[in-house]
Amino acid sequence: MIETRRIDVAATAAHQRSARLAVHLAGAGPLAVLVHGFPLDHRMWTDVLHGPLAQRRTLCAIDLRGHGGSPWCGDDVHTMQQFARDVAAVIGTLGDGPADVCGLSMGGYVALALAAEAPQLVRSLVLTNTRATADTDTQRAGREQAITTVVQEGRAALAAGMLSKLTAPDCEPLRVAQLRTMLEAQPTESIVADLRGLQQRPDRTGELTAIAAETLVVAGEHDAITPADEMRAFARQIPGARFEIVSGTGHMSPLEQPHAWSEVVGSFWR
């Protein structure tokens, strides 16, 4: 069974407005937080929440501010640091110490920000379909184009340009439809704030050697956004990190092949 709870996050001076976050819990055992990608919400983890990992961990799929059941707070920019402070508040509220932290793509950027800023809250890291580098100039220009598309033409137009890049070419059509539903459900203001935050995020490559938490890096065999070879090289920079590839998946490995992905993560979360 999945239980939904609300967690209030207080405003911090200058940085961030207060937020009411929806979190979705399943299972039992030590706390593990799951952080979704752009511009999605906790529903990308639905099959994972219902799968075998819930026998080993209390899984907590967070709706980042402005996504899913967490309303947009009026922020013009969603920085990865701000999202990380929200995740820290969730761990502080639900946990009795550090948590296993798992993030996909944008969620991975958030996990890396949390590991840098509050390492005492991170028992272990799962970085799936993500990277440590900042945007290149070309990627920043692409974000600008995406802002224009979503503001002027709407979320369906943004989805039309994005969906084929998110999954492996032979992904089940129902999975793609699930992604479309999620993407089109997020507030436009929030999508714009995400895109600005993604554009501004810092390069964390230099911090990888300082990660002390046990880390698993998971790639999708056909990931066109964060390719497996790039992720293998990124994993090598984290002391002792394990690296695994989920066959047949694109950028959305846990949604495309939840059983195979959960097996890989389950062998890490013993």
In whole angstroms, how close is the CB of 101 to ligand MLT at the nearest point?
A: 16
Residue 186 in the binding site for ligand MLT (CB under 6 A) = no
In whole angstroms, how close is the CB of 265 to ligand MLT at the nearest point?
A: 18
Q: How far is the first Cα of the chain from the last one, in angstroms, to the nearest whole number?
A: 22
Sheet strand arrangement including 58-62: 3-9, 19-27, 58-62, 31-35, 99-104, 122-128, 214-220, 242-246
Please identify which residue in 105, 178, 253, 262 interacts with ligand MLT, judged by CB under 6 A: 105
Distance CA 158, CA 97 (A): 39
In whole angstroms, how close is the CB of 254 to ligand MLT at the nearest point?
A: 11
Please identify which residue in 2, 77, 225, 260 interacts with ligand MLT, judged by CB under 6 A: 225
Residue 198 in the binding site for ligand MLT (CB under 6 A) = yes
- Kind plus residue range of the DSSP H or E element containing 173: helix 173-185
Q: How many Cα atoms occupy the beta-carbon half-sphere of 122 within 13 Å?
A: 28
Residue 163 in the binding site for ligand MLT (CB under 6 A) = no
Residue 254 in the binding site for ligand MLT (CB under 6 A) = no
State both tokens at 257.
């092949």
In whole angstroms, how close is the CB of 28 to ligand MLT at the nearest point?
A: 29
Q: Which of 161, 155, 164 is nearest to 194 (CA)?
A: 155
Distance CA 22, CA 152 (A): 29
Residue 106 in the binding site for ligand MLT (CB under 6 A) = yes
In whole angstroms, how close is the CB of 13 to ligand MLT at the nearest point?
A: 29
Nearer to ligand MLT, 22 or 191 (CB): 191
Residues 34-63 that bind ligand MLT (CB under 6 A): 37-38
Q: Which residues are near ligand MLT by CB under 6 A?
A: 37-38, 105-106, 198, 225, 251
